[in-house]
Chains A and B, each alone.
Chain A
Amino acid sequence: MSDILDVVIVGGGAGGLSAGIYCARGKMSTVVLEASAKTGGQAAKTNELENYPGIDQATGPDIMGAFRNHCERFGVEFKRGTVDGIKVEDNGFIKQITTKEGETLRAKSVIVATGAQPRVLGIKGEREFTSKGVSYCATCDADFFEELDIVVVGSGNTAVEESVFLTKFVNSIKMIVLHDEGILDADRTAQEQAFANDKIDFVWNSTVEEICGEDLVNGVKVKNLKTGEVSEIECDGVFMFVGTVPNTEFLKGTVELSKGGYIKVDDQMATNVPGVFGAGDVNDKFLRQVVTAAADGAIAAVASERYMQEEENWQERVLEADQDVAVMFWNPLDKDGMALMPDLERFCKESELPLVTIDTYKSQNIASRYNVEQIPTVVRFSEGKETKRVVRPSGEELSQLA
């Protein structure tokens, strides 16, 4: 089996690359595992990237190229592979990351930054006419629709911003919007741009039922949700911007996901599996942008380093210790624990027991593994196994550990 890495980052988009920079700079041995031949994720596929702070004139590919270079400068190793599973080894510490190509990587921590991809609605004709008039990427395909009439499905920020971009090419746009007249999901600035653009019209309270055509798209059937009436709109193209779906299929059954399949994380980007973190668009979160993905990556990186140190400390000082040890679970905010400390130190000295303290305020990881529910709790370990435990003991009760 291969060497054990400090961290494997799954996915080379904004979240993954940002985590890579922080991990490698923190001297962790770091591998970024990327499924495609090019890193950069979704951001590398948009030209219009106008809101990354400090950078007002660059394209998505430019910025993502700079992220990658930054990673390489600090020694991040890049590997190609499509992850198909993450498993925790029996010791509860080392994780195995397996790929479809048959490779297994072993690491102390994992940062999942697999991102999301455009949602396919599955309406009649959608698959059949993909790249024959149906598109999910304005910057890729805008050229084809010069001087033509198109329909845009969706009303979120992406739908509205990309529509405004598309008006530079096309003759006209009809946006098919689910909501009542005047209501778009996009933010105010984007809305105002769309309403002010005379190439953009709106079809309210409606959904697309079917995409029609022969060799290429020639129209859509649109259903009015209020009246139930179905009408046809002639068009040469249909752009679909109806949100994204996370790439988390491989995590099902291992890591807790939201209803929509996004990873549930806490404010340190930790998942329900100790040592497995999430970063970027794949997380269940409020705002999916390059800047928030980069922030997630930084947090996940620092949290993974702390996790690794905590685990290594535990392994070395408790599980692999060559004599019995006393472990005190405490919390600096708890007065009883503080009060017990002098008695405990005296007891340990008399019994020649090394004392290891675990701060449950910093991390619950080890406390929850040993079902420590109240603090202070003191546990005696012998050859890596719990032998005795006292919960909220008095000074005298410590002798039960002898």
Chain B
Amino acid sequence: MLEITKENFDAEVKDFDGIVMVDFWGETCGRCLELMPDVVALSEKYDGKIKFAKLNIKGNRRLAMGQGVMGLPSIVFFDKGEKKEHLSGEELTIEEIENTVKAYC
């Protein structure tokens, strides 16, 4: 999965002419780490349909907040750089994420 930082966010997400799913995560977020292997599997399953990316909030906190993300886990879908959907919460399941991915494929 593509690694997003404040350096490449504009090029890869904001100015991208298509759908990008960004997995906002952090090393201290247990639920994020639980979900990660499943999210990676999704990115392989739906490879080529939409763009999959992950963003470690360490060092990119302001960037995340600028996108209205103030909690983890957060899975955000962008369409042509515009925030379309924000999945979040401790009880977020991989099924919910997959269903949303499917809706954008």
Chain A residues near B61: list those with CB within 8 A: 143-144, 146
Q: Is B96 in the interface zone, CB < 8 Å from A? A: no
Q: Is A4 in the interface zone, CB < 8 Å from B? A: no
Most buried by A among B36, B68, B90: B90
In the assembled complex, how far is the CB of residue A118 from the closest CB belonging to chain B, in whole angstroms?
Answer: 6
Q: Is B5 in the interface zone, CB < 8 Å from A? A: no
Q: Is B12 in the interface zone, CB < 8 Å from A? A: no
Q: Tell whether, in the assembled complex, residue B70 and residue A140 are in contact, meaning their CB atoms are under 8 Å apart.
A: no
Chain A residues near B30: list those with CB within 8 A: 38, 40, 44-45, 60-61, 137, 139-140
Q: How many residues of B contact A (CB 8 A)?
A: 29
Q: Is A166 in the interface zone, CB < 8 Å from B? A: no
Please tell me which one of the listed residues B28, B37, B68, B74 contacts residue A139 in the complex, with CB atoms under 8 A apart: B28
Q: Tell whether, in the assembled complex, residue A141 and residue B71 are in contact, meaning their CB atoms are under 8 Å apart.
A: yes
Q: Tell whether, in the assembled complex, residue A140 and residue B71 are in contact, meaning their CB atoms are under 8 Å apart.
A: yes
Q: How many residues of A contact B (CB 8 A)?
A: 33
CB-nearest residue of chain A to B41: A37
Q: Is B6 in the interface zone, CB < 8 Å from A? A: no
In the assembled complex, how far is the CB of residue A237 from the closest CB belonging to chain B, in whole angstroms?
Answer: 7
Interface-lining segment among A127-135, A341-349, A393-401: A127-135
Most buried by B among A134, A136, A144: A144
Q: Is B35 in the interface zone, CB < 8 Å from A? A: yes
Q: Tell whether, in the assembled complex, residue A141 and residue B90 are in contact, meaning their CB atoms are under 8 Å apart.
A: no
Q: Is A216 in the interface zone, CB < 8 Å from B? A: yes
Q: Tell whether, in the assembled complex, residue B68 and residue A216 are in contact, meaning their CB atoms are under 8 Å apart.
A: yes
A117 to B92, CA, bound (A): 12
Of residues 26 through 40 on chain B, the ones whose CB sits less than 8 Å from some CB of chain A are 26, 28-38
A120 to B89, CA, bound (A): 10
Chain B residues near A171: list those with CB within 8 A: none
Chain B residues near A181: list those with CB within 8 A: none
Q: Is B80 in the interface zone, CB < 8 Å from A? A: no
Q: Is B20 in the interface zone, CB < 8 Å from A? A: no
Over the window 36-53 of chain B, the binary record of Cβ atoms lying under 8 Å from chain A Cβ atoms (1 yes, 0 no) is 111000000000000000
Q: Tell whether, in the assembled complex, residue A131 and residue B26 are in contact, meaning their CB atoms are under 8 Å apart.
A: no
Q: Tell whether, in the assembled complex, residue B34 and residue A216 are in contact, meaning their CB atoms are under 8 Å apart.
A: no
Please tell me which one of the listed residues B34, B36, B38, B88 contacts residue A131 in the complex, with CB atoms under 8 A apart: B88
Q: Is B21 in the interface zone, CB < 8 Å from A? A: no
Q: Is B72 in the interface zone, CB < 8 Å from A? A: yes
Over the window 65-76 of chain B, the binary record of Cβ atoms lying under 8 Å from chain A Cβ atoms (1 yes, 0 no) is 100111111100
Q: Tell whether, in the assembled complex, residue B31 and residue A237 are in contact, meaning their CB atoms are under 8 Å apart.
A: no
In the assembled complex, how far is the CB of residue B67 from the closest CB belonging to chain A, in whole angstroms?
Answer: 10
In the assembled complex, how far is the CB of residue A362 from the closest CB belonging to chain B, in whole angstroms?
Answer: 41
Known: A137-B90, A144-B61. Contact between A131 and B31, CB under 8 A? no
Q: Is A36 in the interface zone, CB < 8 Å from B? A: yes
Q: Is A98 in the interface zone, CB < 8 Å from B? A: no
Q: Is B86 in the interface zone, CB < 8 Å from A? A: yes
CB-nearest residue of chain B to A59: B28
In the assembled complex, how far is the CB of residue B2 from the closest CB belonging to chain A, in whole angstroms?
Answer: 20
Known: A37-B36, A47-B28. Contact between A140 and B68, CB under 8 A? no
B residues neighboring A (CB under 8 Å): 26, 28-38, 57-58, 61, 64-65, 68-74, 86, 88-91
A sample of 8 inter-chain contacts (CB < 8 A) reads A117-B90, A131-B69, A132-B70, A133-B70, A143-B26, A143-B58, A143-B61, A144-B64
A residues neighboring B (CB under 8 Å): 36-38, 40, 44-45, 47, 60-61, 117-118, 120, 127, 130-137, 139-141, 143-146, 215-217, 236-237
